[in-house]
Amino acid sequence: METILKENSIKAKLIAEYESSKKSLFGSLLIRDNAIENFSRLGIPQRKSEEYKYVNMELALKGDYSFETNASLTSKQIDHTQFLKNAIVVVIENGVFSKDVSKISNLPQGIKISSISDASSDKIFETHFSKYADVVNDPFAALNTALSKGGVYIHVSNGAIIETPIHIIHVSSANKNLIINPRNLVVIESASQVKIIESFETVDAKSKVFNNALTEIVVEENAIVDHYKIQNENDLGYLLSTTVITQKKQSVFSTNTIILSGSLVRNNLTIVLDGEFIESHLNGLYLTNGSQVVDNHTLVDHRKPNCNSNELYKGIIEDKSAATFNGKIFVRKDAQKTNAFQSNKNILLSDDGTINTKPQLEIYADDVKCSHGTSTGKLDPDKIFYLRARGLSETSAKKLLMHAFASEVVDTIKIEELREYVEGEIAKRFE
Amino acid sequence: MANEILEEQISGEYKYGFVTDIDADNAPKGLNEEIIRFISSKKNEPEWMLDYRLKAFRYWLTLDEPHWAHVSYQKPDFQEIIYYSAPKPKVQLNSLDEVDPELLKTFEKLGISIEEQKRLSGVESRIAVDIVMDSVSVKTTFKETLSEKGIIFCSFGEAVQEHPELVKKYMSSVVPYTDNFYAALNSAVFTDGSFCYIPKGVRCPMELSTYFRINASGTGQFERTLIIADEDSYVSYLEGCTAPMRDENQLHAAVVEIVAHKNAEVKYSTVQNWYPGDKDGKGGIFNFVTKRGICLEDNSKISWTQVETGSAVTWKYPSVILKGDNSIGEFYSVAVTNNYQQADTGTKMMHLGKNTRSTIISKGISAGFSNNSYRGLVRIAKGASNARNFSQCDSLLMGDKCGAHTFPYIEIKDKSAVVEHEATTSKIGEDQLFYCKQRGIDNEKAIGLIVNGYCKEVLNKLPMEFAVEAQKLLAVSLEGSVG
């Protein structure tokens, strides 16, 4: 009985917040009303819910929260979060696009960046906004759609090849408990090429921040997109990051999710392959410690024939942390000649850690090649012995093996500067 | 070509679809405490058994039907089912001459000739059979031979009468009535089943077998099997099942419990061939079964082997709780679905003891409009050091209207565990077919060859007598489904 009351109160608070603030929010009220209706039907997922079996969202949302967002950070304060020397920097502070600290002057040709609240009247924006995220069944997508106060809209026009990477930095800096709902839309028109990095950081935070971020990415025909997500919030960060990608004919999309820290990280990654001859790559690496909870949900939805998808998620689990991988490959009736591969590998280093993995195949077409594999184990004693026989100490032998384990994912990062940064962060972790 | 053969197979009669005209003693339709008291008094049960049934029934009333499985079906109306049906006359039979000749004919049709069994009793590979028809055990063969070794093999009802201390001790110890919806239902209304106890140090000299048969219309079958292997013992147990062809869906909700003590080994093999429904998906058995074994003490081993070809809807997860140190759990499964059949099957391996090992090999084959899912759980508890699991789940798709799904759950809480899982989904390779055809093997035989090769790892685990039946079943189920 008690839990029901609690759940109700969080839910009720969120709905009340919508009612009181809806007049000041950007965009179509119709979409928002519909979303909040869905949210009030779905509620905060309970532990019984199959999708949230291993992560306690209620616990994460416990306590009092404020919805006030104010951008107060100076560029000096966030300087260290800009780990790329040469990048188009978009800063989203506490869920709202912060123009002052972003670096979006002198944009290369073919790219348009604006606050999502300024884009609502844009025609292209309208055709794509809120068309891909599942607001009917996903409570957090519905919540984000209803409550979002800001975010960024990026448009890359036909044939534009953008060499400079776009770095979207989500920073949270709260002095009281905060729920934020940043919302981004990226439209990549046909035959264009772009690299996008999303990073999540906490700066000068004194209180906990629940970040319910949602990014929709549209990849049109023949476009090539590299997407990276670096999640490096501190213990006050509770992050639920939903990314929905829709790919059209002959496009190539690769994404890399690197989870380094954060009290709770839940990623919902959905890729819809809505065209023929599409290529998708999903890579992920999670290094968990302390009492961290990390939960990666991925869905690869093969809708059309002749597509390839490839997924690799790896994790190293330490201390009392818990990691979950839940990946689904869904092959529809029409998607003949699909090749879909999925692999999840984990190393468990402590007796108090937990690994849950659920790689799933749901296949309705017969002429396909699909496979998944998962393995969990400790560091191979034979390998440690081999290295020790060559004079390495036990610690450095283990470190070396962990680096090697992680490098399979890290090596897929194509931006050299970013790869070096990630390698550095990992090295710090293994010290 | 392929279509012709498939057509032939689909239109081919289900071999065991006949009805035996035997007088049956039926309870009235419906489910309430009265019916449970009726069943209990029919079976002349002691007070504690009735109490157990009523407890289970009251608990069942608080439960909702589970919906998480990847199947969809019309929910059975539990008040429309006859919960007790016994072939008449039910008297203690001492020799075969006293058995109803109609019954004997039934068994002959089913390919279990009791006469022959008797004549062959000197031969080594004999099987002791307990036949359960409409949930009531009608005949157990070789009882005397077995009792010389101290082995108890009888119907569940008899065990309640003659060995209440064993039943009381072990029943519900592996699958409590609170376990799930259908286990609770079974605990309330089960009518009979098989009971088997292998004493210390005895290696059972023959295969023990239970043959389940649903005969009467409108009935549900709720039987219970309890196998106890005491220290240092070994038994191999077979289970087979068939049902008549009817338009209605009949419910089969069984519970199987296995207890393995120190150094004991139990091998449990099933060829499940309940009536799967016709080619339009009408009729067929709903097979909702809870099967679980526990390796209670050190060095014990439980091995499940199943060949699932029947039933309209199958919902079944033979599991092993690996409690004793160094215990071993195995699961080998071939599940074939055709037409509108749906199967959601797999296993659970719970590693609790140290140095426990488990192996899962699952082969799914789907054809027609069917859906075939593997759902399995491997859980390594904290402190279950050096646990080892290997799982392999392969699916084969035949035709573009069917589905094959894999839903493995892996939960690990011990750092010394090594767990591997791999799964593949594909169709029969064109190159494999080409290779066979090029050597003069026709399409149909080539498919048979490839499918048999694909399932070999599992079929090899079946006892001789069953392996032959299983291979034939597979051949019939799948000839020419691809081409």
Residues A234-255 have pLDDT tens digits of 888 899 999 999 999 999 999 9
Q: What is the pLDDT of residue B139?
A: 58
| Count of C-beta atoms within a 10 Å radius of residue A157 | 15
pLDDT range class, residue A226, cuts 50, 70, 90: very high
- Interval B213-229 mean pLDDT: 79
Of the candidates A336, A361, A378, which has its C-beta nearest B425's C-beta? A361
Judge whether residue A163 has pLDDT over 50. yes
Please give the torsion angle defined by the CA atoms of residues B88, B89, B91 and B96, in that order, rounded to the nearest 10 degrees.
Answer: -100
Q: Binning pLDDT at 50, 70 and 90, where does residue B76 land?
A: confident
Q: What is the mean pLDDT of residues B135-147?
A: 66
Domain positions in chain B are 2-316, 439-478
Q: What is the mean pLDDT of residues B266-283?
A: 82
pLDDT, chain A, mean: 91
Q: Which residue of B has its CA nearest to A51?
A: B68
Average pLDDT over residues A132-159: 93
Which of B68, B412, B422 has its CB closest to that of A376? B412
Minimal-distance CA residue of chain B relative to A322: B413
Look at residue B118 in the predicted model and tell me its pLDDT.
45
Q: What is the C-alpha separation between B417 and A378, in angstroms, rounded?
A: 7
**Is the confidence at residue B93, as pLDDT, over 80?**
no
Confidence at residue A111, expressed as pLDDT on a 0 to 100 scale: 94
Mutate to test the interface with A, among B406, B407, B430, B432 (most CBs of A within 10 A): B406
**Residue A136 corresponds to which tokens in the numbers above?**
């009917």
* Residues from chain B contacting residue A324 (CB–CB below 8 Å): none
Please tell me the distance from the alpha carbon of residue B342 to that of residue B345, in angstroms, as a whole number.
10
Which chain B residues are Cβ-neighbours of A365 within 8 angstroms?
397, 400
Q: Residue B168 pLDDT > 80, yes or no? A: yes
By C-alpha distance, the chain B residue nearest A49 is B68
Residue tagged 């067929």 (tokens):
B284
**For residues B386-412, average pLDDT:** 90
Q: What is the pLDDT of residue B3?
A: 41
Residues 6+ apart with CB under 8 A from B171: B52, B224, B226, B257
CA torsion sign for A390, A395, A398, A400 is negative
pLDDT at A291 over 60: yes
Phi, psi of B109 (to 5 degrees): -60, -35
Indicate the range of A125-134, A141-150, B51-60, B306-315 predicted with least confidence.
B306-315
Within 8 A of A364 by CB-CB distance, chain B residues are 400, 402-403
Mean pLDDT for the stretch of residues B46-54? 90
B380 falls in which pLDDT band (50, 70, 90)?
very high
Inter-residue contact B83 to B60 (CB < 8 Å): no
Q: Which residues of B touch A363 (CB under 8 A)?
A: 395, 397, 403-405, 425
3-state secondary structure of B101: helix
Average pLDDT over residues B246-269: 88
Q: In this predicted model, which residue has the larger pLDDT, B90 or B352?
A: B352
Range with the largest mean pLDDT of A103-107, A109-113, B153-157: A109-113
pLDDT per position as a tens digit, B288-325? 899 999 999 999 999 999 888 888 888 899 999 999 99
What is the SS3 string spanning chain A? CHHHHHHHHHHHHHHHHHHHHHHHCCCCHHHHHHHHHHHHHHCCCCCCCHHHCCCCHHHHCCCCCECCCCCCCCCCCCHHHCCCCCCEEEEEECCEECCCCCECCCCCCCEEEEEHHHCCCCHHHHHHCCCCCCCCCCHHHHHHHHHCCCCEEEEECCCCECCCCEEEEEEECCCCCEEECCEEEEEECCCCEEEEEEEEEECCCCCCEEEEEEEEEEECCCCEEEEEEEEECCCCEEEEEEEEEEECCCCEEEEEEEEEECCEEEEEEEEEECCCCCEEEEEEEEEECCCCEEEEEEEEEECCCCCEEEEEEEEEECCCCEEEEEEEEEECCCCCCCEEEEEEEEEECCCCCEEEEEEEEEECCCCCEEEEEEEEECCCHHHHHHHHHCCCCHHHHHHHHHHHHHHHHHCCCCCHHHHHHHHHHHHHHHC
Task: Record the tokens describing residue B293, joined without a space.
Answer: 């074994």
Nearest CB neighbour to A371, from listed B399, B411, B424:
B424
Give the best residue of A47, A299, A316, A363 to mutate against chain B (max B CB count within 10 A). A363
Measured CA to CA, the distance from residue B364 to residue B427 in angstroms comes to 11
Neighbours of B338 (CB within 10 A): 26
Say whether B415 and A365 touch across the interface (CB within 8 A): no
pLDDT at residue B126 in the model? 45
Interface of B with A (CB under 8 A): 68, 382, 395, 397-427
Pairwise CA distance, residues B478 & B182, whole Å? 31
Percent of chain B, pLDDT > 90?
29
pLDDT at residue B6, rounded to an integer: 39
The pLDDT of residue A6: 52
Decide if pLDDT at A126 tops 70.
yes
- Of B402, B405, B410, nearest to A357 by CB-CB distance is B410
pLDDT at B13 over 60: no
A346 interaction partners in chain B (CB closer than 8 Å):
412
At residue B346, the pLDDT reads 92
The CA distance from A383 to the nearest CA of chain B, in Å, is 15
Distance from CA of A143 to the nearest CA of B (A): 26
Split at pLDDT 50, 70, 90, the class of B7 is: very low
Tokens 């069953």 belong to residue:
B466
Rounded average pLDDT over A2-20: 74
Taking alpha carbons only, the member of B480, B357, B464 closest to residue B420 is B357
Q: Look at residue B427 in the predicted model and tell me its pLDDT.
A: 84
DSSP at B400: S
Residues of A within an 8 Å Cβ radius of B: 50, 333, 336, 346, 348-378
CB atoms within 10 A of CB B169: 12
Q: What is the mean pLDDT of residues B175-184?
A: 90
Mean pLDDT within A40-57 = 87
Chain A residues in contact with B418 by the CB 8 A cut-off are 375-378
pLDDT at B361: 93
Q: Which residues of A touch B405 (CB under 8 A)?
A: 360-363
- What pLDDT score does A225 carry? 96
CB contact under 8 A, B400 and A373: no
Q: Return the pLDDT at B194.
A: 85
Local structure of residue B206 (DSSP, 8 states): S
For the segment B58-84, the average pLDDT, to the nearest whole number, is: 83
Which helix (DSSP H) or strand (DSSP E) does residue B291 occupy? strand B284-295
A352 to B397: CB separation less than 8 angstroms, yes or no: no
Closest CA relative to residue A125, chosen from A248, A39, A269, A28: A28
The answer to whether residue B116 scores a pLDDT higher than 50 is no
Strand, helix or coil for residue B281: coil
Q: What's B399's DSSP letter?
A: S
Is B422 within 8 Å of A348 when comparing Cβ atoms? no
A375/B419 Cβ within 8 A: yes
Yes or no: say if A181 and A144 are a contact pair by the CB < 8 Å rule: yes
User: For chain A, which residues make up each domain, given as ranges?
Assistant: 2-274, 379-431
Q: Which residue of A has its CA nearest to B422?
A: A373
Mutate which of A53, A354, A362, A366 to disrupt the B interface (most B C-beta within 10 Å)?
A366
Q: How many C-beta atoms lie closer than 10 Å to residue B230's C-beta?
A: 18
Distance CA B83, CA B243 (A): 16
Phi, psi of A327, deg, nearest 5: -120, 135
Q: What per-residue confidence (pLDDT) applies to B130?
A: 65
Taking the mean position of all CA atoms in its chain, how far away is CA A279? Answer: 19
- Label residue A2 by pLDDT band (50, 70, 90): very low
Q: Bigger pLDDT: A142 or B29?
A: A142
Smallest CA–CA distance, residue A292 to chain B, in Å, is: 15
- Is the pLDDT higher at B72 or at A281? A281
Show residues of chain A in contact with B409, CB under 8 Å: 356-358
3 state DSSP class of B36 = helix
pLDDT value, residue B111: 52
User: What's residue A219's pLDDT?
Assistant: 96
- Chain B residues with CB under 8 Å of A362 CB are 403, 405-406
pTM exceeds 0.80 for this model = yes
pLDDT of amino acid B63: 87
Rounded Cα–Cα distance for residues A275 and A65 (Å): 42
Query: Chain A partners of B415 at a C-beta cutoff of 8 Å?
Result: 348-351, 353, 378
Alpha carbon separation from A210 to A62, A140, A240, B76 (Å, rounded): 10, 12, 8, 45
| Calpha distance A186→A202 (Å, rounded) | 23
Residue A110 predicted with pLDDT over 90: yes
Question: Closest partner residue to B412 among A336, A348, A368, by Cβ?
Answer: A348
Q: Which of B371, B411, B416, B447 to mutate to test the interface with A (most CBs of A within 10 A)?
A: B411
Alpha-carbon distance A327 to nearest alpha carbon in chain B (angstroms): 10
Question: Is B459 in a helix, a strand, or coil?
Answer: helix
Q: Using the CB atoms, write b or e for B23-53: b if 16+ within 10 Å.
A: ebebbeeebeeebbeebbebbebeeebbebb
Does the structure show a pLDDT above 50 at B177? yes
ipTM for the predicted complex comes to 0.82
Which of B412, B419, B424 is the closest to A370 by Cβ?
B424
- Do A360 and B405 count as a contact with CB atoms less than 8 A apart? yes
**Mean pLDDT, range A317-334, rounded to an integer:** 93
pLDDT band at A177 (very low <50, low <70, confident <90, very high): confident
Average pLDDT value for residue range A150-171:
94
Whole-Å CA distances, A324 to A137, A349, A403, B403: 21, 15, 21, 26
**Average pLDDT of the residues of chain B:** 80
Token duo for residue A78: 């966030």
Please give the residue of chain B at the shortest CA–CA distance from A341. B424
The two tokens of residue B83 are 């919960």
CB count, 10 Å around CB of A66?
14
Cβ atoms B192, B135 nearer than 8 A: yes
User: B421 and A365: CB-CB below 8 Å?
Assistant: no
Whether the predicted pLDDT of B418 surpasses 70: yes
A366–B399: do the CB atoms touch at under 8 Å?
Answer: yes
Angle at A339 between CA A335 and CA A340, to 5 degrees: 100
Q: What is the torsion angle, in degrees rounded to the nearest 10, for the CA atoms of residue B402, residue B290, residue B72 and residue B54?
A: 170
Residue B330: predicted pLDDT: 93
- Number of residue pairs across A and B with CB atoms under 8 Å? 118
pLDDT(B113) > 60: no
- Best CA proximity match to A278, nearest among A215, A216, A365, A337: A337
Confidence of residue B263 (pLDDT cuts 50, 70, 90): very high
pLDDT band (50, 70, 90) for residue A382 = very high
The Cα A185–Cα A243 span in angstroms is 10
User: Which chain B residue lies closest to A50 (C-alpha atoms)?
Assistant: B68
Write the burial class of residue A394 (CB in 10 Å: 0-12 exposed, 13-18 middle, 19+ buried): exposed
pLDDT recorded at residue A196: 96
Contacts of A357 in chain B (CB under 8 A): 408-410, 421
Lowest average pLDDT, out of B12-16, B48-52, B163-167, B307-311, goes to B12-16
Residues of A in contact with B399 (CB under 8 A): 366
DSSP B28: P
Q: Do B414 and A348 touch (CB under 8 A)?
A: yes
A378–B405 C-beta distance less than 8 A: no
The shortest CB-CB distance from A375 to any of B399, B408, B420 is to: B420
Q: Sorting pLDDT into bands at 50, 70 and 90, what band is A266?
A: very high
Question: What radius of gyration do chain A's Cα atoms show?
Answer: 21
The dihedrals phi and psi of A104, each to the nearest 5 degrees, come to: -125, 20
Q: Is the CB of residue B275 less than 8 Å from the CB of residue B242?
A: yes
Does A151 have pLDDT greater than 90?
yes
Please tell me the distance in Å from B335's CA to the nearest CA on chain A.
16
Q: How far is B286 from chain A (nearest CA, A)?
A: 23
Q: State the Cα–Cα distance between residues A60 and A2, nearest whole angstrom.
A: 17
Residues of B in contact with A356 (CB under 8 A): 409-412
Q: How confident is the model at residue B115 (pLDDT cuts 50, 70, 90)?
A: very low
Which band of pLDDT confidence, cut at 50, 70 and 90, is reported for residue B109? Answer: low
Distance of CA B108 to the CA centre of its chain: 22
Please compute the mean of the pLDDT values over residues A17-42 and round it to a whole number. 90
The arithmetic mean of pLDDT across residues A410-419, rounded, is 94
